[in-house]
Amino acid sequence: MRPRAMTKLTFGAAAATLGLLATLAPTADAHQPSGHKPELKRIGYFTQWGIYGRNFQVKDLETSGTAAKLSHINYAFGVVGSDGKCLMGNAPGSDPWADYVRPVDAATSVDGVGDTADQRLAGNFNELRELKAKNPGLKVMISLGGWSGSAHFSDAVRTEAGRKTLVASCIDTYIKGNLPVDGARGGAGAAAGIFDGVDLDWEWPGSEGNPGNGIRPEDKPNFTKLVREFRTQLDTYGRSLKKRKHYELSAYVPTAPAKIDAGFEVSKIMRDFDFVNLQGYDFHVSGEKTTAQQSALFARNDFSVDQTVNAWLRRGAPAHKLVVGMPFYGQGWTGVTGGGDGLGQPATGPAPATWTAGSEDYKFLKVLADSGTYKLHRGYRNGHAWLFDGTTLWTYDDPTVLRTKASYVRQNRLGGAMVWSLDGDTPDGELITAIDRGLTRR
């Protein structure tokens, strides 16, 4: 990886207190008018499947105080099927039961009223509707694809007809809310008004993602055309309503310059996107043979948040449309040898974890940090943290790191912060509170 050009920026007294002796600023944004101070976004992914093992319900966003600190919820994920359409039902990753069929009892419901057998909308979708009623400024986006759900994008968008069909089907299902009938649930307009836009999570156009994904060189221009088609159809539908509405359009986009160049005509797509969410984590993962940082703010000759921001700015993205991704989980290795603080040392494999080896929610890492068994290390200059007990290492973001990153976003007039995923936070919303305070100077 080539070293990038770097310039210095001083964060001021708050960052200096955290030990950031000197930091690196992204280059100036020629697209952003002088004096532009947009509201900083606070975006959180809610995982459809989190209601099961993790027992993380939509109501938890209200009781933790998280919903009041968010501007957007990205619902993960909508499915693009092998037929090139957004679909719900008989397809891997689709779970209508979780989305709108499952009855939610009074104790688990946002409004304290249990679902009845004859209502057309139940499940997560109805709970999101109730959450929006309690938080009128909150927007909900449907995220399409994801790591294991991007297999069919390339095939679906090869032709103009295919793109029009895909976009129309997604708008029909999620924006118009026309759901398949399942007993008393679903039907025309059953989910209307829940989703305020579309988030494209194609991982990745033109380059490798999950094994088995369709990939072709023409993904790059086809992605641009797909974005244009979404923008056109969303605007057309929004203007057709009695009370006109702007439906937002965003995407999750990569950190690696090679992946950016393989799949994204940056200057073109940014005209149609309201914002993009930058990959700010998984710079290194537990499947690698050597321990490393997964989400550092700065790093020399390595992936980092700052490197990602600069990569998008240099390719023509306006700063105020760049939202920085932040993890609510850590990457972990075990069998670490070599001594020291454990970073940059060989390991035998992913660390044991609650749900998936090598990946652990922050709420569980906090318990480890407080146990006295692990020592907390900080890369103050680089803006990251890790735990090491002599054998097992976890690299993650804690409140101190997140406040620093939020200050970076604010000082450099970026678009805000995005988190994956909300179910990794503590029951009292410790991490989202740190981000909120960092973005608002509190």
Contact by Cβ (8 Å): 429, 336: no
Q: Which residue's entry shows tokens 């029909």?
A: 172
How far is residue 220's CA from residue 225's CA, in Å, rounded to a whole number?
9
Cβ-based neighbours of 310, under 8 Å, separated by 6 or more = 4, 26, 27
- Bridge partner residues of 9 (DSSP): 23
How far is residue 396's CA from residue 353's CA, in Å, rounded to a whole number?
14
Catalytic residue from among 62, 127, 130, 203: 203
Contact by Cβ (8 Å): 273, 227: yes
How far is residue 302's CA from residue 304's CA, in Å, rounded to a whole number?
6
- For residue 402, the SS3 value is helix
Residue 340 phi, psi dihedral angles, 5° rounding: 65, -145
In Å, how far are 52, 75, 262, 289, 354 from 101, measured between CA atoms? Answer: 15, 16, 40, 43, 28
How far is residue 185's CA from residue 354's CA, in Å, rounded to a whole number?
34
Please give the single-letter amino acid code of residue 426: T
Classify burial at 292, counting beta carbons within 10 Å of its beta carbon; exposed 0-12, middle 13-18, buried 19 or more.
buried
In Å, how far are 76, 77, 123, 142, 250 from 191, measured between CA atoms? Answer: 16, 16, 11, 12, 21
Q: CA neighbours within 13 Å on the CB side: how many for 297? A: 27
Contact by Cβ (8 Å): 409, 416: yes
Active site residue 430: no
Residues designated as active site:
203
